[in-house]
Amino acid sequence: RKLDPNKPMVALTFDDGPNPTSTNKILDVLEQYGAVATFFDLANLMEQYPSVVQREEEIGCEVGTHTYSHVDLTKLSIEGLQEEMDKSSKVFNRVLGHDQVLVRAPYGSVNNQVRKYLGYPMIGWDIDTLDWKYRNKDKILNEVRKIKDYDGRIILMHSIYNTTAEAVEVLVPELINKGYQLVTVSELAKYNGYDYLNHGTVYYSFR
């Protein structure tokens, strides 16, 4: 993949996976179009479906953590927060051979304690497809199409629904045809001048 820093970029992100059916369908589409995304996977599911996560990285996608067990981090003690991240880190090292780099907090729920003690940069989003709510391809696409300029934006989806995979089949070529490069969150940050992402900061876009 060669990226043109002068052309617009957008990051598709997928939470709550991996799922052996719907996630693989999404990966099929990304692979078909030479596109990539960032998957914020649950470490307890990474243990169950390691081959799906490994495939994500093999085709050039980025894998971040959505914690070990999808717990609301703001409801944990400092010790509980660190234990949750440690469990996730161990799975990353076992399944992918490296530590986690980026975190997306479940529900996007973050407070001052999480910012101080999490120990990783956090990634939010600024386009919510509401795919978890609609479970309908056309409604998901309508949410995305409400936005006219995607450059530097982070789109939230979930890799556990077949309806999301169906939407991705339409959305990926549509974005490419509009001139967008589909990149990972880290690439989006880098090419928009963010050489370093701060621990404890939540990034909602890179515009």
* Percentage of the chain modeled with pLDDT above 70: 100
Q: What angle do CA 179, 182, 184 make, to 5 degrees?
A: 150
- pLDDT digits 0-9 by tens, 195-206: 999 999 999 999
- pLDDT digits 0-9 by tens, 61-79: 999 999 999 999 999 999 9
Residue 130's CB is within 10 A of a number of other CB atoms, namely 15
Nearest Cα to 97, choosing from 86, 89, 108, 105?
89
- pLDDT digits 0-9 by tens, 145-187: 999 999 999 999 999 999 999 999 999 999 999 999 999 999 9
Is the pLDDT at 92 greater than 90? The verdict is yes
Is the pLDDT at 53 greater than 90? The verdict is yes
Is the pLDDT at 1 greater than 90? The verdict is no
pLDDT reported for residue 179: 97
**Which of the following is catalytic: 4, 15, 98, 99?**
15
Half-sphere exposure at residue 57, Cβ-oriented, CA atoms within 13 angstroms: 15
Q: Please tell me what DSSP assigns to residue 107.
A: G
**Which of the following is catalytic: 16, 41, 66, 158?**
158
Contact (CB, 8 A) for 103 and 120:
yes
Where does the pLDDT of residue 54 fall: very low under 50, low under 70, confident under 90, or very high at 90 and above? very high
- Work out the average pLDDT over 86-107: 98
Active-site annotation holds for 66: no
What's the rounded Cα separation, in Å, for the pair 163 and 148?
Answer: 23
Is the pLDDT at 52 greater than 90? The verdict is yes
Q: What angle do CA 140, 145, 151 make, to 5 degrees?
A: 115
What's the rounded Cα separation, in Å, for the pair 107 and 110?
Answer: 9
Active-site annotation holds for 158: yes
Specify whether the backbone of 127 is left (phi greater than 0), alpha (psi in -120 to 50) or beta: beta
* Percentage of the chain modeled with pLDDT above 90: 100
Specify whether the backbone of 152 is left (phi greater than 0), alpha (psi in -120 to 50) or beta: left
**pTM exceeds cut of 0.85:** yes
- Looking at this protein, which amino acid is placed at residue 102? L
What's the rounded Cα separation, in Å, for the pair 206 and 192?
Answer: 6
